[in-house]
Amino acid sequence: MASEDPRHGAHRVPADRAPDDARELDRDVAALHRERRALARAQRRTALLTSRRGLSAALVVGALALVSIFGALLVVLHPSFPTRSPSRPLADPEEPVGQVGGLLPDGPVLTPATRTTVRGLPRPGVLVLVPVPCDCDAVVASVVGQAIQVTRAVRLLTTGAGDPAGERASALRTGPARGLATSGVDVEGVVASAVGARGVTVVLVAGNGVVVDVVRDVGATQRLDAPLGRLQANR
């Protein structure tokens, strides 16, 4: 009788005798074929997994390289803005409303996206009050260029009396301000009235709604380093 090979589960013919019937070898031959097919399948799976790992690694490296290049381009092509601090609760100062050290006045403001109020605008921030009509594109461009280095909350405000639909404010935002500032209409003109605006007037507001500084009748070449520095110190 043939003995069982514990390694392969196939029947092996003892070496000391030849089989009486060639059919006795059928099971051995079939087992050998099964082993060969299993080995071939295992080799194919190993090769496939190795290939997929190599492809996955290449894809990951390529994706990381693209992300790095894209990030570098963003840094080069777009200005870096300081992060705006969240608005703090309104203070309760003793100074009059609209004066340096006092709160902003409050009244309705129409923005491109919604209706809000003067005190509901992002803080700390810079309000650029623009009279209408006004041949002041160069002034607006200069003011926005300086203010945006300190805060992203820069708002161009026109009054409802001169610019009821906000057309001039929108034109300034997309023109000289190059989209760096947002626009709005002080519907009742409360800010310009409270701060005594003359010409292009810059109002710097701390995070608690207190007026840090007011600069009136700003010129195209005028530097605002000192008032912007005070805004940074009173965020």
Residues 149 and 206 placed together within one structural domain of the fold: yes
On whether residue 146 sits in a domain, the answer given is yes
The enclosing domain of 224 has a CATH number of 3.40.30.10
Mean pLDDT of the chain: 81
Strands 11-12 and 3-4: antiparallel
Beta carbons within 8 Å of 93's beta carbon, 6+ residues apart: 101, 102, 103, 210
Say which residue the tokens 């461009």 belong to.
Answer: 141
Residues 56 and 120 placed together within one structural domain of the fold: no
Count how many domains the chain has: 2
On whether residue 135 sits in a domain, the answer given is yes
pTM for the structure as a whole: 0.64
Tell me the per-residue pLDDT of 155-208, one tens digit each, with 9 for 90 and over: 999 999 999 999 999 999 999 999 999 999 999 999 999 999 999 999 999 999
Residues 41 and 119 placed together within one structural domain of the fold: no
Contact 117, 50 (CB under 8 A): no
Residues 122 and 23 placed together within one structural domain of the fold: no
Residues 122 and 183 placed together within one structural domain of the fold: yes
Range of the domain at 38: 3-77
On whether residue 124 sits in a domain, the answer given is yes
Residues 62 and 131 placed together within one structural domain of the fold: no
Residues 116 and 72 placed together within one structural domain of the fold: no
Say which residue the tokens 């601090």 belong to.
Answer: 85
Tell me the per-residue pLDDT of 110-156, one tens digit each, with 9 for 90 and over: 998 889 999 999 999 999 999 999 999 999 999 999 999 999 999 99
Residues 154 and 193 placed together within one structural domain of the fold: yes
On whether residue 90 sits in a domain, the answer given is no
On whether residue 91 sits in a domain, the answer given is no
